[in-house]
Amino acid sequence: DQQVKQNSPSLSVQEGRISILNCDYTNSMFDYFLWYKKYPAEGPTFLISISSIKDKNEDGRFTVFLNKSAKHLSLHIVPSQPGDSAVYFCAASDQTGANNLFFGTGTRLTVIP
Amino acid sequence: EAGVVQSPRYKIIEKKQPVAFWCNPISGHNTLYWYRQNLGQGPELLIRYENEEAVDDSQLPKDRFSAERLKGVDSTLKIQPAELGDSAVYLCASSWTGQSQYFGPGTRLTVL
């Protein structure tokens, strides 16, 4: 049973515009959420995270929003750049402190120059 | 600072053959993870080590998979015998306890 879901397998955006990647989760015990970026033939690279006590976290061009009541989070990239083209994974961990991550299936972002 | 190192990067074997993957974590990281990523899916945890102890191996298929972490540093993941369904990318990650995980480039396994 997939506890973290990314329902859009792909997204194409023009350079300079906003990219919005979405993620839903089902486990109410999740309290920490992360976004990873993955280029071909490389491992996932940590991008940005958010704790369940916050509803927004911003780092440069990247902002993550968390809506706990809807069990939904999103990653906004503004402005989008061609180098942002990659697969983005949403991940979540629960309150056990074990730091085990549960990943979504990923969204392939293509930024068109 | 060197990242997580994995070898080999690619491995092609015939079914029923054994295979082993090696991981060298970031220096000082006490937690080490092995994940499997099937095509079109996200990574799924196989086993987590705290130092040399396997503290979560609930998702490891123990009939054919085994792992060890010698002296709490390097780790090896083994499959014996391999099956067609084992074809995937095997990712190693490391972290300080409770902190963000850093991933290696993975080993792409193809079982023919």
- CB atoms A41 and B105 under 8 Å: yes
Pick A75 or B56 by higher pLDDT.
A75
User: What is the reported pLDDT for B72?
Assistant: 84
Encode pLDDT of B73-95 as tens digits.
Answer: 999 999 999 999 999 999 999 99
pLDDT at B1 over 80: no
CB-based contact A98 B103, cutoff 8 Å: no
Q: Which residues of B touch A (CB under 8 A)?
A: 4, 9, 31, 40-45, 48, 55-56, 91, 93, 95, 97-106
Pairing of strands B107-111, B10-13: parallel
Q: Give per-residue pLDDT as tens, A50-108.
A: 999 999 999 999 999 999 999 999 999 999 999 999 999 999 988 655 578 899 999 99
State the SS3 of B40-70: CCCCEEEEEEECCEEEECCCCCCCCEEEEEH
Q: Which two tokens stand for residue A15?
A: 């350079």
Nearest CB to B105 within list A42, A100, A106: A42
